[in-house]
């Protein structure tokens, strides 16, 4: 009941404020994002996961399925295997990413641009294509083993069982660590390093005690992503035919013909819970530590010029690592130009025919992919930046919930999301047409958006964590509104992180398959990865599929470089503008 | 941003208007592009009023898709190899009962009925299972191609064989069931486990097997015939043979229940059965066995003709009802005993093979006894054939909820855990016994 009707009559604008207390623009944004996540993530996934809590024969609510899970030795073993593979992948991925990040950010090294552009490429390969190419190079009878067997008479089991999964996953996902770690290293305040040097610290000790700890937000963000991603990844273990891990177990049980075993859904629930727990652990680790730095003009740490010997060493390390991480692409390139490649170190002959075959039937796949991935990545960075800001800068009730919910998307196997979308949207019609929403192409873009949101969110959060709140306070105390502060101060300072988020989301969305394969309802709407999958299902289509894979890599690489150029140009315009 | 939105709306409008031009027939299929492409082209030339919209999904994903969209169905045709997938859809009332007219198509292929007796799905091509091998791989490893299932269990093939799991691929399921019916339940499983002891891998997709053989990742694979023929036709150094015990089964096509274009769907099926439609099957990239005997006149030399060569697929009288009643149970048993415990099984079988090689003359009776005991442990089955055909027990694996009051005695997870404990223990003791024998 209004207490003073007189005032209300005269001041209509106050009425709105009284009716919706505290609902500033930022609150509205938070509510909107919450609705978006509930509608596009929670509801569809719940539609599928509810099976885990039902008695398979009666449909009554029960927790018996979870008791069964822990009583089954195969599942316990799978859980342990998944954990082991994820942890080892983080270790191997760190071993790959750390030298690259360190060399590019600490030294004047002419190969830096090469690393920055090539180091990103491994992410942009559909997982099954990567595994196919890796088999050709590192497999039991791949190029390397055929050569060393002939020369030295022994084999190296690179791709055997869990080893293979760890190798493929580390090579595929190390860019998460590289990108986030490099961004963090670049954002470190030079004065910190100088202070340490003044106090006599240098070399490895300086790195171990000052530089690396300061880069922690980026490293932890990247490592947590790698861990969760590997834990939930389905494509790689399946392609290497490793079944005794959790995600493949879930998939095999959900997608077997005619079987409705609830254990698949139970495993999905456990995957989600475990991923959220690991994320929470990474938050706990970071809690109570302040990583922000005030100085922004200086542009990161001091760079040293390498001595000749060091330069050779650096080039050696960098080239070795790049050869390793690009081996799937080298394999794919050979496959795309090769005629027949069977039990031989290299293809029997070379041809352009694969590209001709591919081009005749794949143009729509390419344009669709660009459209979907652009929509998904653009929405991702917008939503990601908003969530990061809400979590770190406001006291809105349930803000952590937004973060957890968005991040939980990481843990949802693509198949589960795909089935959930079919269940949720099939009975809704697209406005103005009579098509069911589930077969509308926009749903594919939205599914990609949800699947890749966690990447953008982590990148944006890490970027905002390094922006000191005192810069915003300074702007506000000079009279800028909240909105203007966000526009003019926060977002420009986060630009690097936002770009990293956009690129990661775009690139990985462009090659996503597991959710889209459920949702594609017409070949005209199909993205690239689906096209590669189609080709790769036939003996005669391997070369053409590889050619399409190469096109995917090129498309994404162009996207990446273009966005980098745009940001650089903006920076230049801004800095010249500032000096006037 | 705005431009993107406008562009998207424009694109949408264009796609929407484009789709209305022809009468659309939506086909859900597991067949690859290289097969659907030529057939689509031939059909659209013969019937220009129709536009075939092909949607490629794995068989299992296709079944799931049709189940999920049943509320507002947009699919007209389901088109895939495995008859079992059609059985699943038929039992869910998701297939339409249509009448299709054709000429010159026999009732049986091998000993398998070509069409569903209730008229829900129709065979349009034949396929048989066999062994495919990579010539270069075998030459490099000094191996001869295996031509019978039993040969695959011989020790020289240890680690050289690949296969898909029956739960992953309907066609693989038929191979497994064929051997179980041809050799008997216990002998059949024993044979599968001894062959599986030689496996390099169990692939997730049925195409993973020809792919593995083509690249030389493993040397021999258990595959459906057209994978062998089409790989060879694409130029890979591979070949294929039918073993004596194999089943010829039809690849099928059906109209989905409440199809938006049911008439067009029937037209498509009828076209597949015409002499022109059948002739497309002999395209080098397809290589499926036509079911119209007259089409074989144009077949390339050496192409098998099941209507003339009675040795193909004749040894087994395939019992569809038996297969259907224990479908999921057989899949689950294969996964528990082989797919998920492949490392244990391979180690145990490898150890026994090594012990056998050491005591090949049989003079050491103690060692021979130990080896026999070890084989018995490998061969042991958790359930007998009668149990596999017990409808209540098999029901644990299908979980069709009929009434809320229906109560199933045990849960699948419980049963699988019990089987798993048994096979893990058996494989471990078998390996131990073999090592003991080898040490004698």
Three-state SS sequence of A497-527: HHHHHHHHHHHHHHCCCCCHHHHCCCHHHCC
Tokens linked to A420: 């959930």
Q: Average pLDDT for consecutive 10-residue bins of chain B (440 residues)?
A: 47 43 83 86 92 84 82 89 82 89 83 84 88 95 91 94 86 85 92 95 88 93 88 91 80 93 93 92 85 86 78 69 84 92 94 93 89 95 91 75 51 89 96 92
Q: Is A233 or A63 the better-scoring residue by pLDDT?
A: A63
Please list every residue in chain A whose beta carbon sits closer than 8 Å to the beta carbon of residue B134.
342-343
Segment of A97-101, A114-118, A302-306, A532-536 carrying the highest mean pLDDT: A97-101
Distance from CA of A492 to the nearest CA of B (A): 18
Task: Report phi then psi at B148, rounded to 5.
Answer: -125, 155
Indicate yes or no: CB of B217 within 8 angstroms of CB of A140.
yes
Non-local (6+) Cβ contacts of A86 within 8 A are: A226, A227, A228, A230, A231
Lowest mean pLDDT, pick from A214-223, A285-294, A405-414, B352-361:
A285-294
Identify the pLDDT of residue A10: 46
| Radius of gyration over every alpha carbon of chain B, rounded to an integer in angstroms | 24
Please list every residue in chain B whose beta carbon sits closer than 8 Å to the beta carbon of residue A135.
215, 217
Is the model's pLDDT at A294 over the cut of 60?
no
CA–CA separation, B364 and B372 (whole Å): 12
Distance from CA of A427 to the nearest CA of B (A): 7
Which string of DSSP letters, residue by residue, matches A430-484?
PTTS-SBGGGSHHHHHHHHHHHHHHHHHHHHHHHHHTB-HHHHHHHHHTT--HHH
Identify the pLDDT of residue B15: 44
Indicate yes or no: CB of A339 within 8 angstroms of CB of B412.
no
Indicate yes or no: CB of A256 within 8 angstroms of CB of B35.
no
Indicate yes or no: CB of B398 within 8 angstroms of CB of A439.
no
Indicate yes or no: CB of B15 within 8 angstroms of CB of A524.
yes
Tokens linked to A455: 């990447």
Identify the pLDDT of residue A568: 67
- pTM given for the model: 0.80
Task: For chain B, give the number of residues.
Answer: 440
Please report, for residues A331, A373, A509, A527, the alpha-carbon distance to residue A370 in angstroms, rounded to integers and kept in the order given: 24, 5, 10, 8
Q: What is the pLDDT of residues A307-336, one digit of tens each?
A: 888 888 888 888 898 899 889 999 999 999
In CATH, B2-128+250-298 is 3.40.50.150:
no
Please list every residue in chain A whose beta carbon sits closer than 8 Å to the beta carbon of residue B4.
374-375, 378
A420-424 contacts at long range (C-beta below 8 A, 24 or more positions apart): A420/A43, A420/A44, A420/A45, A420/A46, A420/A47, A420/A48, A421/A44, A421/A447, A421/A515, A421/A518, A421/A519, A422/A518, A422/A519, A422/B65, A422/B68, A422/B69, A423/A44, A423/A47, A423/A48, A423/B68, A424/A43, A424/A44, A424/A47
Distance from CA of A260 to the nearest CA of B (A): 7
Please report, for residues A110, A510, A557, A567, the alpha-carbon distance to residue A562 in angstroms, rounded to integers and kept in the order given: 21, 16, 8, 9
CA–CA separation, A243 and B344 (whole Å): 14
Q: Which residues 357-386 on chain B approach chain A with CB closer than 8 angstroms?
A: none
Where residue A301 falls among pLDDT bands split at 50, 70, 90? low
Decide if A129 touches B, using CB distance below 8 A.
Answer: no
Q: What is the pLDDT of residues A420-459, one digit of tens each?
A: 887 788 777 777 666 677 778 889 999 999 999 988 898 8
Please report, for residues A157, A260, A293, B162, the alpha-carbon distance to residue A515 in angstroms, rounded to integers and kept in the order given: 32, 20, 40, 28
In this prediction, residues A27-55 reach a mean pLDDT of 88
Decide if A109 touches B, using CB distance below 8 A.
Answer: no
Indicate yes or no: CB of B215 within 8 angstroms of CB of A136.
yes
Indicate yes or no: CB of A518 within 8 angstroms of CB of B421.
no
Number of Cβ atoms within 10 Å of the Cβ of B439: 10
Nearest CA in chain B to A237: B204
| Domains delineated in chain A | 1-52+352-580 (1.10.3720.10), 70-344 (1.10.3720.10)
Indicate yes or no: CB of A427 within 8 angstroms of CB of B71.
yes
* Complex ipTM > 0.95: no
Distance from CA of A63 to the nearest CA of B (A): 13
Task: Report phi then psi at B27, rounded to 5.
Answer: -115, 125
Identify the pLDDT of residue B261: 92
Please list every residue in chain A whose beta carbon sits closer than 8 Å to the beta carbon of residue B428.
none
Beta bridge partners of B238: B134
- Are the CB atoms for B137 and A141 separated by under 8 Å? yes
The CATH code for residues B129-247+321-439 is 3.40.190.10
Domain ranges of chain B: 2-128+250-298, 129-247+321-439
CA–CA separation, A111 and A94 (whole Å): 20
Identify the pLDDT of residue A350: 94
Identify the pLDDT of residue B221: 95
Domains B2-128+250-298 and B129-247+321-439 share a fold: yes
Indicate yes or no: CB of B54 within 8 angstroms of CB of A422.
no
Nearest CA in chain B to A58: B404
Distance from CA of B88 to the nearest CA of A (A): 6
Distance from CA of B167 to the nearest CA of A (A): 6
Nearest CA in chain A to B421: A73
Is the model's pLDDT at A255 over the cut of 80?
no
- Are the CB atoms for B318 and B84 separated by under 8 Å? no
- Are the CB atoms for B114 and B250 separated by under 8 Å? yes
Lowest mean pLDDT, pick from A18-22, A180-184, A551-555:
A18-22
Is the model's pLDDT at A487 over the cut of 90?
no
Is the model's pLDDT at A142 over the cut of 50?
yes
Is the model's pLDDT at A339 over the cut of 70?
yes
């Amino acid at each position: 009941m209004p207490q003073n009707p007189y005032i209300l009559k005269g001041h209509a604008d106050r009425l709105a404020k009284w009716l919706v207390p505290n609902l500033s623009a930022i609150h509205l944004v938070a509510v909107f994002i919450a609705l978006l996540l509930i509608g596009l993530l929670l509801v569809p996934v719940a539609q599928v996961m509810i099976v885990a809590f039902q008695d398979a024969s009666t449909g009554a609510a029960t927790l018996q399925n979870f008791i069964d899970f822990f009583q089954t030795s195969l599942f316990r073993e799978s859980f342990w295997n998944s954990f082991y593979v994820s942890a080892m992948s983080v270790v191997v991925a760190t071993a790959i990413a750390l030298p690259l990040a360190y060399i590019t950010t600490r030294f004047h090294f002419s190969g830096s641009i090469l690393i920055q552009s090539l180091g990103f490429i491994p992410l942009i390969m559909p997982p099954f294509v990567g595994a196919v190419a890796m088999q050709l190079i590192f497999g039991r009878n791949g190029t390397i083993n055929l050569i060393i067997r002939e020369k030295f008479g022994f084999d190296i089991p690179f791709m055997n069982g869990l080893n293979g999964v760890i190798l493929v996953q580390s090579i595929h996902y190390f860019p998460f660590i590289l990108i986030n770690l490099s961004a963090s290293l670049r954002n470190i305040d030079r004065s910190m390093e100088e202070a340490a040097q003044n106090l006599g610290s240098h070399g490895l000790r300086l790195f171990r005690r000052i530089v690396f700890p300061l880069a922690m937000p980026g490293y932890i963000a990247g490592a947590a992503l790698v861990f969760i991603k590997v834990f939930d990844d389905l494509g790689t273990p399946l392609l290497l035919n490793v079944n005794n891990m959790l995600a493949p177990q879930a998939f095999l049980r959900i997608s077997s013909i005619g079987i409705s075993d609830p254990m698949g859904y139970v495993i999905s629930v456990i995957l989600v819970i475990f991923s959220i727990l690991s994320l929470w652990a990474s938050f706990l680790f970071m809690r109570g530590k302040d990583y922000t730095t005030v100085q922004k003009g200086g542009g990161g740490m001091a760079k040293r010029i390498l001595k000749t010997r060091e330069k050779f060493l650096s080039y050696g390390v960098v080239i070795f690592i790049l050869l390793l991480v690009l081996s799937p692409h080298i394999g794919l390139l050979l496959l795309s130009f090769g005629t027949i490649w069977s039990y031989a170190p290299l293809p029997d002959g070379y041809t352009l025919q694969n590209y001709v075959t591919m081009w005749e039937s794949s143009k729509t796949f390419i344009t669709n992919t660009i459209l979907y991935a652009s929509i998904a990545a653009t929405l991702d960075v917008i939503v990601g930046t908003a969530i990061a800001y809400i979590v770190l800068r406001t006291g809105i009730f349930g803000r952590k919930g937004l973060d957890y919910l968005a991040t939980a998307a990481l843990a949802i196997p693509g198949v589960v999301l795909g089935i959930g979308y079919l269940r949720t949207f099939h009975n809704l019609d697209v406005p103005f047409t009579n098509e069911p929403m589930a077969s509308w192409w926009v749903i594919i873009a939205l599914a990609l958006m949800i699947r890749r949101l966690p990447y953008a969110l982590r990148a944006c959060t890490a970027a905002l964590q390094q922006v000191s709140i005192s810069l915003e306070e300074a702007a506000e105390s000079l009279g800028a509104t909240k909105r203007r502060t966000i526009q003019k101060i926060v977002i420009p300072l986060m630009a690097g992180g936002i770009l990293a988020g956009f690129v990661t989301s775009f690139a990985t969305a462009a090659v996503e398959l597991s959710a889209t394969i459920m949702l594609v309802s017409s070949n005209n709407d199909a993205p690239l990865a689906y096209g590669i999958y189609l080709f790769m299902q036939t003996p005669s289509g391997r070369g053409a599929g590889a050619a399409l894979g190469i096109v995917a890599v090129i498309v994404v690489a162009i996207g990446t470089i273009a966005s980098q150029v745009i940001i650089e140009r903006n920076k230049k315009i801004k800095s010249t503008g500032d000096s006037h | 941003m705005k431009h993107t939105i406008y562009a998207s709306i424009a694109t949408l409008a264009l796609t929407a208007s484009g789709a209305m031009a022809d009468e659309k027939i939506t086909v859900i299929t597991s067949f690859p592009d290289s097969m659907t492409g030529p057939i689509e082209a031939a059909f659209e030339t013969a019937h220009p009023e129709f536009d075939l919209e092909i949607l490629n999904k794995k068989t299992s994903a296709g079944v799931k898709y049709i189940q999920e969209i049943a509320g507002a169905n947009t699919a007209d045709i389901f088109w895939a190899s495995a008859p079992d997938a059609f059985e699943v859809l038929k039992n869910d009332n998701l297939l339409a009962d249509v009448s299709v007219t054709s000429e010159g198509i026999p009732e049986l292929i091998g000993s398998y009925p070509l069409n569903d007796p209730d008229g829900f799905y129709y065979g349009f091509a034949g396929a048989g299972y066999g062994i495919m091998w990579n010539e270069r791989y075998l030459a490099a490893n000094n191996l001869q191609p295996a031509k019978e299932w039993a040969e695959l269990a011989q020790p020289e093939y240890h680690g050289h064989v690949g296969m898909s799991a029956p739960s992953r691929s309907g066609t693989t399921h038929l191979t497994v069931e064929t051997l179980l019916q041809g050799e008997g339940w216990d002998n059949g499983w024993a044979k599968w486990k001894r062959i599986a002891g030689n496996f390099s891998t169990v692939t997730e997709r049925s195409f993973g097997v020809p792919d593995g053989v083509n690249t030389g990742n493993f040397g021999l694979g258990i595959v459906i015939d057209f994978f062998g023929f089409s790989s060879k036709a694409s130029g890979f150094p591979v070949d294929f043979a039918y073993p004596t015990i194999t089943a010829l089964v039809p690849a099928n096509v059906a109209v989905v229940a409440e199809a938006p274009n049911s008439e067009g769907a029937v037209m498509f099926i009828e076209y597949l059965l015409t002499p022109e439609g059948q002739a497309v099957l002999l395209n080098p990239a397809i290589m499926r066995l036509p079911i119209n005997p007259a089409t074989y006149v144009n077949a390339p030399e050496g192409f098998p003709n099941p209507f003339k060569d009675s040795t193909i697929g004749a040894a087994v009288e395939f019992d569809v009802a038996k297969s259907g009643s224990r479908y999921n149970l057989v899949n689950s048993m294969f996964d528990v005993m082989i797919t998920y415990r492949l490392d244990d099984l391979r180690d145990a079988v490898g150890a026994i093979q090594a012990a056998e090689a050491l005591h090949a003359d049989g003079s050491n009776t103690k060692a021979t006894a130990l080896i026999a005991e070890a084989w018995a442990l490998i061969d042991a089955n958790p359930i007998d054939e009668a149990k596999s055909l017990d409808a209540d027990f098999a029901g644990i694996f299908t979980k069709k909820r009929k009434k809320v009051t229906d109560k199933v005695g045990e849960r699948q997870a419980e049963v699988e855990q019990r089987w798993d404990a048994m096979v893990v223990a058996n494989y471990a003791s078998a390996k131990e016994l073999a090592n003991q024998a080898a040490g004698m």
